Chain A
Amino acid sequence: MTNKKSIGGILLEIVSILCMVIILIPVVWMIAMSFKTEGQQISNTWQYFTPPYTLQNYVTIFQTSKVLTWMMNSLFVALIVTALVITISTMAAFALAKIRFRYSKFMYFFFLLGLMVPTEATIVPLFVTANRLGLIDTYLGLILPALAGSMNIIIMRAFFMGIPNDLIESATIDGANELHIFLQVILPLGRTVIVTIAIFTFIGNWNSYLWPYLAAMSEDLFTLPLGIPTFIGQYTQDKVLPMTINTIASVPIIIFFIVFEKQIVKGISLSGIKG
């Protein structure tokens, strides 16, 4: 079957390539435009992609916009959220999966309940709550609510349950307490799921929009998704600068994907329940 390259096979190959081109054209166009001179007349589509090129737009963006601040904010918030999510979720999931205590079932169902609470439907009271706590327009206000979803715990618990109890018992006999077991047995063996959740938490928070849109008021606190629209709002005519800032916002995450491609691909299939 393999050596018989049928016409159908070749056709499908062409369709695949066409799909790839169509899907990537907007991204390629965005990057190409970021190297064009401001105000250049484009008479046919090829000229979007052909020289002359310039780096001037990048200079302008870095000089006139707060893009670096926004990028650092995005990076800071996404990294802190990821680190904290991993810490508190692994701890809680470990307790649910491997410590035998009263109310264990109750806590599990209590967290299961949280899967049904969409932030989108509680933004108004969440805003009021955060406001009362003095969290609006602060870094903490961007970070704390992002830690409160229970999905990660449910996924991790299921995964930790699969870690054999024998390993834990033999560690206990050797005199290890729960903290040792958590750090030396659970975390190393749960690596796969932890890395996966870390990657998705990072991407999700790097791109998150709705809550930061409500909680960040001052431009110095904006993340990239908030900063980009404010910046582009000033440039309705020429696309060159908006496309440059879009490119600047996209390149880090694309590089991130290239580096972690294997884990991301594996992670998606692993976490089919993730919404």
Chain B
Amino acid sequence: MSAKRKRIWRNDLVALVFLLPFTVLYMVFTIYPVIQGLYMSLFKWGLMGKQDFIGADNYTRFLGDKFFWGALWNTTKFVLYSTPTIILMSLGLALLANRRSPLKRLYRAAYFTPNLLSVSVISFLAIYILQPYGMGFISNLLKTLGVQEEIFFLKDPQLVWVSIVGTTAWWTCGYNMMLYISALQDIPDQLYEAAAIDGASPSKQLWSITLPLLKPTTLLILLLQLIASFKVFAQIRLITNGGPGHATRPLIQYIYQAAFEKNRLGYAAAMSYALFLILVVLSLIQLKATREGDR
């Protein structure tokens, strides 16, 4: 009995040693900030620290702040535009790069390449490609082809979204394409062979075999994409800095500005919980979906 008890204690101790380094960091930098943020959100809080206890004021204030809603709406717009674009493009690229072709590996590597570039690099590439007056690549190409019209990609409130979403899609599609390719490879060849014997055309096979079997992967990508898109910040900050006006400023940028430019950390912490809530709901759905997918 006591030997058994000794073993239990020993196992606990060994487990503790193995778990300790990560657990400490996890508590300090992942869990504690959540609590600290809740606490801060109840105060008027500057960069120098705590000032006044104001209860739920920060929350009621941001709920009536039109810039908060504007920024949240911009983030939502980005999510709504980018998610279908990215899913369709990734699927298209995956289908192209999964065909029997001598250049298959090259296609995959090429389609994936932008994914490797740093967000700063892709942002400046976008800026330089989209510059007007023959300075940017597209403008120059149009001039070379004889088109005289100028397009102001980053000044027009509609086109600026096309530019941001286009850049993001170009940058991130490769990753989702790889997810699609691995799902495509899991579809047994016999299904296609049987369909071909029955005389189904390749496009019929695509609609009745490939696309239905890709549904779980599409769901996974959809959720990953929603979560990632609600966190959008860096490329918008670098390409448009939220402009023209505040037309593209995402929520994270507004939170950042409230905290580090306006010195209202408590207010920023409170607003963060709106984002937090959205992301928690999405990750719960994702967790549930992937678990069901595993079964």
Contact = CB atoms under 8 A, between A and B. Distances in A.
Judge: A and B partners, yes or no.
yes
B268 interface: yes
Nearest to A16: B96
Interface stretch (A51-59, A61-69, A188-196, A265-273): A265-273
B26 A125 contact: no
Interface in B211-267: 217, 220, 224, 227-228, 231, 233-234, 238, 252, 255-256, 259-260, 265
Given A20-B107, A20-B111, A89-B22, A209 B273 contact: no
| Highest count of chain B CB atoms <10 Å: which of A117, A121, A246 | A121
Given A124-B40, A128-B36, A129-B28, A44 B118 contact: no
B13 to A, nearest CB: 9
B97 interface: yes
B118 A19 contact: no
Interface in B196-221: 196, 202, 217, 220
A121 B118 contact: no
A125 B40 contact: yes
B79 to A, nearest CB: 14
B158 interface: no
Interface in B273-295: 273, 275-276, 279-280, 283-284, 286-287, 290
Contact of A178 (B14, B265, B290): B14
Interface in B159-215: 170, 175, 178-179, 181-182, 196, 202
B34 to A, nearest CB: 6
B284 A249 contact: no
Contacts of B12: 101-103
Would you call the interface of chain A mostly helix, strand, loop, or mixed?
Answer: helix
Interface stretch (B65-73, B80-88, B136-144, B148-156): B136-144
A23 B235 CA distance: 18
Interface string A99-114: 1111110010001111
Given A15-B96, A92-B23, A246-B124, A101 B15 contact: yes
B99 interface: yes
Interface in A111-155: 111-118, 120-130, 133, 144-145, 147-150, 153
Given A42-B140, A129-B28, A228-B118, A120 B231 contact: yes
Would you call the interface of chain B mostly helix, strand, loop, or mixed?
Answer: helix
A118 B279 contact: yes
B147 interface: no
Nearest to A25: B137
B223 to A, nearest CB: 9
B137 to A, nearest CB: 6
A121 B28 contact: no
Contacts, number: 264
Nearest to B119: A209
Interface residues of A, number: 98
B92 to A, nearest CB: 8
Nearest to A226: B120
Given A178-B14, A253-B117, A121 B273 contact: yes
A55 to B, nearest CB: 20
Contacts of A96: 19
A88 B25 contact: yes
Contact of A125 (B37, B103, B140, B179): B37
A161 interface: no
Interface in A20-41: 20, 23-27, 29-30
A19 B107 CA distance: 9
A116 B265 contact: no
B119 A225 contact: yes
A254 B252 CA distance: 29
B53 interface: no
Nearest to B125: A26
Given A12-B96, A121-B272, A129-B32, 9 more contacts: A23-B110, A29-B129, A29-B137, A101-B8, A102-B12, A144-B29, A209-B118, A239-B135, A268-B175
16 contacts: A2-B100, A9-B99, A13-B103, A27-B114, A29-B125, A44-B143, A101-B8, A150-B30, A178-B14, A207-B117, A246-B121, A249-B120, A253-B116, A257-B109, A269-B181, A272-B290
Interface of B: 8, 11-12, 14-16, 18-19, 21-23, 25-26, 28-34, 36-37, 40, 93, 96-97, 99-101, 103, 106-114, 116-121, 123-125, 128-129, 134-135, 137, 140-141, 143-144, 170, 175, 178-179, 181-182, 196, 202, 217, 220, 224, 227-228, 231, 233-234, 238, 252, 255-256, 259-260, 265, 268-269, 272-273, 275-276, 279-280, 283-284, 286-287, 290
- Give the 10 A-B residue pairs with the shortest CB-CB distance, closest first: A269-B182, A125-B37, A148-B29, A95-B18, A101-B15, A125-B36, A268-B178, A121-B276, A125-B33, A92-B22
